[in-house]
A and B are shown apart, each in its own frame.
Chain A
Amino acid sequence: NAGVTQTPKFRVLKTGQSMTLLCAQDMNHEYMYWYRQDPGMGLRLIHYSVGEGTTAKGEVPDGYNVSRLKKQNFLLGLESAAPSQTSVYFCASRTTSDNEQFFGPGTRLTVL
């Protein structure tokens, strides 16, 4: 079991460039989440998904899009990166019960 993996681990973008972050889980979890972590702000939810083919907005969705075409993958896209999107991005997944979330290792993104 690899658990939750994220690709890439690090990335530097220029303002206006686009990229996609991939989250993959092999635990057959229904729910998947994308968070960003900024100093003093804790974890803020960007988007989430409660099952294959479904997505919903979280607390800070602007500037991001997501897709969940396969149950095991949750993609986070930045269409036109901005310096304000410089952050560490964490993906997480969990079962449909009250069980805890399992987090990926994070992706450190810098937008210049």
Chain B
Amino acid sequence: ILNVEQSPQSLHVQEGDSTNFTCSFPSSNFYALHWYRWETAKSPEALFVMTLNGDEKKKGRISATLNTKEGYSYLYIKGSQPEDSATYLCAFIGGGSYIPTFGRGTSLIVHP
């Protein structure tokens, strides 16, 4: 079983704060990394698919970076809003694997 770690486990911020969290994964045999946003009582929805070392992706106030050589990805949220409250999951896919390995997620709560 591959080791995919996310930190912190949970995060409370005030509206307007910028925040970031980390996904760590094996630095060998990398194929792709996915970020998902998972709101309570809903199902996970994909934010980003990242495949190349140095990739930077952006969607509105949310962005992500990827370092495959050292095995980590950062997710940034600029100017957090209450509607950003969710669990953010990352999933690592190794070369030749059909199976994404998920981290346990970072739970973000943005207080008005």
Q: Which of B19-27, B44-52, B61-69, B77-85 contacts A (4 or more CB under 8 A)?
A: B44-52
Chain B residues, Cβ within 8 Å of A56: 98
Most A C-beta atoms less than 10 A away, residue of B45, B91, B99 = B99
Question: Does A82 touch B at the CB level, under 8 Å?
Answer: no
In the bound complex, do residue B46 and residue A101 qualify as a contact, i.e. CB atoms below 8 Å apart?
yes
In the bound complex, do residue A59 and residue B34 qualify as a contact, i.e. CB atoms below 8 Å apart?
no
Residue of A with least CB distance to B43: A103
Question: Does A31 touch B at the CB level, under 8 Å?
Answer: yes
In the bound complex, do residue B104 and residue A100 qualify as a contact, i.e. CB atoms below 8 Å apart?
no
Q: Which of A12-20, A40-48, A64-72 contacts B (4 or more CB under 8 A)?
A: A40-48
- How many chain A residues touch B (Cβ–Cβ < 8 Å)? 22
B64 to chain A, nearest CB (A): 13
In the bound complex, do residue A100 and residue B34 qualify as a contact, i.e. CB atoms below 8 Å apart?
yes
CA distance A99 to B105 in the complex (A): 20
B35 to chain A, nearest CB (A): 9
Residue of A with least CB distance to B49: A100
In the bound complex, do residue B43 and residue A105 qualify as a contact, i.e. CB atoms below 8 Å apart?
yes
Question: Does B89 touch A at the CB level, under 8 Å?
Answer: yes
User: With contacts A45-B99, A100-B46 known, what are 7 further pairs, Cβ within 8 A?
Assistant: A42-B104, A58-B99, A90-B44, A98-B31, A98-B93, A100-B36, A101-B44
Q: List 9 A-B contacts (CB under 8 A).
A: A41-B104, A42-B103, A42-B104, A43-B89, A56-B98, A100-B34, A101-B91, A103-B44, A106-B43
A-B pairs, 9 with minimum CB distance? A100-B46, A42-B104, A103-B43, A98-B32, A43-B102, A103-B44, A100-B34, A50-B98, A100-B49
